[in-house]
Amino acid sequence: MVGLLGSLVLVVVATLVIWKGSEHFARAAQRLSKYYGLPVAVHGAVVVAVGSSFPEISSIVISTVVHGEFSLGVGAIVGSAIFNLLVIPALSALSSEKLGATRNLVHKDAQFYIISVLVLFIVFALGATYVPGGTNSAAILTPPLAILPLATYGIYIFLHQQDASDHVAAESVDVSPLREFGTLSVALLVIAVGVEGIVRAALSLGGIFGIESFLLGLTVIAAGTSLPDAFVSVRAAQNDDSVTSLTNVLGSNIFNLLVAIPVGVLLAGSATINFLVAIPTMGFLAFATLVFVIFTRTDLELTDLEAYGFLGLYVLFLVWMVLESFGLIDTVRGI
């Protein structure tokens, strides 16, 4: 009981630490983007998305390097992507008068995100079928395979760089870049400390309940590390900045899938993931992505009813994972 209570307390404390670090990060990132005159879409899809993804990349680095649990980090990335797509837009829509999308967002960022999901699935499949020693229950990810998603992210940055080069900046704000970069650095350090706490708590809970590490990443760590994205998107929506709110979600997910996971592979030298577990969860991620695209494209607005639909779909995902974790159903092979 002491171990369980201590783990739950650690989850709460670590989550609060991540929240506070994210709050300071968001403010500094917004000031720097205005100072350098970046377009709103680039601010949301690249600057804010990369920074708010720091908990996710921290989770895979800490899980892999410190605890030797690569699957835990990958589970956190995939689970965070599902949380970002379903929960964050829903909270943003419900906390604002109107959460509008743009054709550019749907046709470029959302479609590139679909490509990102496909690229990651191909990498997993290659690790299971073409890497020596790989099987359908053990996809072996190697540094050469990590180059594919990293190169794909390079294309994404190139596309946004083209948009930024055509942008005419408004009058820049008067801020101290050195101070804001200092704030960013401290905020990222605070977030890393919070992530370490939540990873330790998740591993402890896994030992208590006998839950597979990939599923722990999908649920406990994913929700905790997604707080920065939630904070940034909800705050942007409340300030009537729907573009930043939605592009942050998509940009963060693209970064997580195409950069965070390959970084974990490169740090580990090679890593193994249970392909039988990854297939259905990646399938649900693909389904959630299609729902997101359809809902945001319909009248280019996310309504309250659609927001509740997102939340309901995420609850179903959690129920599915809990039932799988305790062996009440057996739809995910390999657990």
CATH of the domain at 320: 1.20.1420.30
The range of the structural domain enclosing residue 242 comes to: 2-325
Q: Using CA atoms, how far apart are residues 52 and 57, in angstroms rounded to an integer? A: 10
Do residues 304 and 94 lie in contact, with contact meaning Cβ atoms separated by under 8 Å?
yes
- The answer to whether residue 211 sits within a structural domain is yes
301 strand-pairing partners: 100
pLDDT (0 to 100) of residue 18: 82
Question: Is residue 187 scored above 50 in pLDDT?
Answer: yes
pLDDT tens profile 295-307: 988 888 899 999 9
DSSP string, 202-256: HHHHHHHHT--HHHHIIIIIHHHHTHHHHHHHHHHHHTT-HHHHHHHHHHHHHHI
With respect to residue 170, please indicate whether it lies within any of the assigned structural domains. Answer: yes
Q: What is the pLDDT of residue 303?
A: 92
Report which DSSP code applies to 173.
P
* Token output for 60: 């895979």
Residue 333 lies in a domain: no
In a domain, 332, yes or no: no
Contact (Cβ atoms closer than 8 angstroms) between residue 279 and residue 334: no
For 257-300, the pLDDT digits (tens) are 898 889 888 888 888 888 888 888 888 998 999 999 899 888 88
Distance CA 292, CA 249 (A): 11
| Cβ 293 vs Cβ 114: under 8 Å | yes
Is 101 within the bounds of a domain? Answer: yes
**Residue-level pLDDT at 2:** 43
3 state DSSP class of 77? helix
pLDDT in tens, 218-244: 888 888 778 777 877 888 888 888 877
Q: Label residue 15 by pLDDT band (50, 70, 90).
A: confident
Q: Which two tokens mark 160?
A: 């946004």
41 pLDDT tier (thresholds 50, 70, 90): low
For the entire predicted model, the pTM comes to 0.82
Q: Please report the sign of the dihedral spanned by the C-alpha atoms of residue 13, residue 18, residue 24, residue 26.
A: negative
pLDDT-derived band at 140 (thresholds 50, 70, 90) equals: very high
330 inside domain:
no
Min mean pLDDT across 94-108, 284-298, 309-323 is at 94-108
CB 177 within 8 A of CB 183: no
How many structural domains are present in the chain?
1
Split at pLDDT 50, 70, 90, the class of 123 is very high
pLDDT band at 35 (very low <50, low <70, confident <90, very high): confident
Q: Is residue 317 part of a domain?
A: yes
Which single residue is written with the structure tokens 């995910």? 332
Burial tier of 30 (Cβ tally within 10 Å: 0-12, 13-18, 19+):
buried
